[in-house]
Chains A and B, each alone.
Chain A
Amino acid sequence: MPANQPLWLRAVLRLERAVGEPIESAVHSDTYFDLVSTTTRVRRKLSGTAEGVSRRCLHLLNLPAGSDIRNMRQQLARMERRLNQLSHDVSELDEDGSGPDVR
């Protein structure tokens, strides 16, 4: 800690370490990691359930749901990826030695 720091700043920095170190130990503990994984799983399950319900309701009214749009975007992305790859392959046909030279 530099000696020319004002007293208030030194106090804040010490306080931050005094509070921060136990917090860091807590959030780096197995208990915390288990808690985060459980929370993440529960949250995903709840949002999956809510999505399923809303999708069924929207489909009853013959309306597309968010998940339909998402699936469509994924399909479009897959197609765009293939097109990009084809375009790269074509442009590399005339190039020399640009392909991978794997062991």
Chain B
Amino acid sequence: MNPKIASTLNPADLLTRVNRDVERSILRARNGIRYVRGTHRPALGVTPKDVVWKRDKAELWRYKGGDRRYGPPVVIVHSLVSRSYILDLRPGNSTVEYLTRAGLDVFMLDWGVADELDADNDLERYVDWYLPRALHAARTASGHEEVTLAGYCLGGVMAALYAAGHDHANVRNLILMATPVDYSEMGAMVALLREGRLDPDELIDETGNVPADALYSGFYMLAPTVEVAQKATLLENLWNDEFVEGFQAMATWSRDHVPFPGAAFRQLVELLVRQNILMTGSMPLGSRQVDLAAVQGNVLNAMAERDNVVPPPAVEPVMQLVGDPARREELRLPGGHVTFGTGKSAFKHTMPKLTSWIIDHSDTPS
């Protein structure tokens, strides 16, 4: 008899499988009720931290928990369109927790939730006003003159502009995570904003900002049916508390967008999307021209190979444009846009590789 069939007919194995299925059905029912009721939602972004600097809605957090063996500090600059807790999703599944435990001094620059007061915030306000002040606070708190500046998505654009546009930026390492520079390769995300379609002002609401719903719709339309597959996978794994918690955390984050400040949005559309100006290697900022090649220090261009929000072709030109050619490195990671924050691939590839690169380019413990 085929050993597989024999095993299937073995009464002991059969009983074990029946027991397992009954247990899983009970757990599925329990977790299903919890999921529908919306109770037992996982706590997000809970790595202990101190607020070391605050201006308007922007806050600089310093994470606690590690023994801070390496320097300079790692300052993460988050994007303007999503919530920063994607990089600190859940205990045991958090990039900042991973970096902190590795002995790095980790800071996060969070922009908060924009409202009427932020409608006039343009890129200059972020790059030339908030960022220098936040980094000054990080340097003061850590006692290091330099920083490792890591920008995620649009945060990477702001980090690169800061590092290139300031004489004493003191950025030893610039890490650009899924940072788009070639907006002609951004596909569906920006197609509506190209010349002749929608003007930025048509998306800006009465608060002067692009509403979070409009941003969510943009992300949702990248793959409108994928939620069906996700829900089916959830149903199959509903017995597994860990899976359900991870699913809920991701589902919460992916719907939790923040309004985009109107002035910065107009600049983004006109300069970055329509003129694709970063591909020229420089960009006007305030009264000056910022040359991306002027970035001092090491540059790591990290991209996710299956990223459908910022596809690799939009990121790849960083290797020709930002910083000194001899100090540029590329890191290709399996996974999608969120591989910088969560998921199996993040734990297996992203977090160890990023951590190892940062440590290799940091001061070793004395």
Q: Which residues of A contact B (CB under 8 A)?
A: 5-6, 9, 12-13, 16-17, 19-20, 23-24, 27-28, 30, 33-34, 36-37, 40-41, 44, 70, 73-74, 76-78, 80-81, 84, 88, 97-103
Contacts and interface: CB of A to CB of B under 8 A. Distances in A.
Nearest to B294: A103
Contacts of A99: 132
23 contacts: A9-B236, A12-B232, A13-B232, A13-B233, A16-B225, A16-B229, A20-B224, A20-B225, A20-B226, A23-B225, A24-B222, A37-B202, A70-B206, A73-B116, A78-B120, A80-B117, A84-B56, A102-B128, A102-B165, A102-B166, A102-B167, A103-B288, A103-B294
- Most interface-central of B115, B132, B168 (chain A CB within 10 A): B132
Contacts of A17: 229
Nearest to A91: B55
Interface string B17-47: 0000000000000000000000000000000
B122 to A, nearest CB: 13
B102 interface: no
A33 B136 contact: no
A9 B192 contact: no
Contact of B167 (A78, A97, A103): A103
Nearest to B229: A16
A43 B129 CA distance: 37
B286 interface: yes
B117 A28 contact: no
Interface of B: 55-56, 115-117, 119-120, 128-129, 132-133, 136, 164-168, 187-188, 191-192, 197-198, 202-203, 206, 208, 221-226, 228-229, 232-233, 236, 286, 288, 290, 294
A77 B119 contact: yes
Nearest to A80: B117
A17 B290 CA distance: 44
- Most interface-central of A9, A16, A70 (chain B CB within 10 A): A16
Given A88-B55, A102-B128, A103-B294, A24 B224 contact: yes
A28 B288 contact: no
B229 A13 contact: yes
A28 B225 CA distance: 13
Nearest to A99: B132
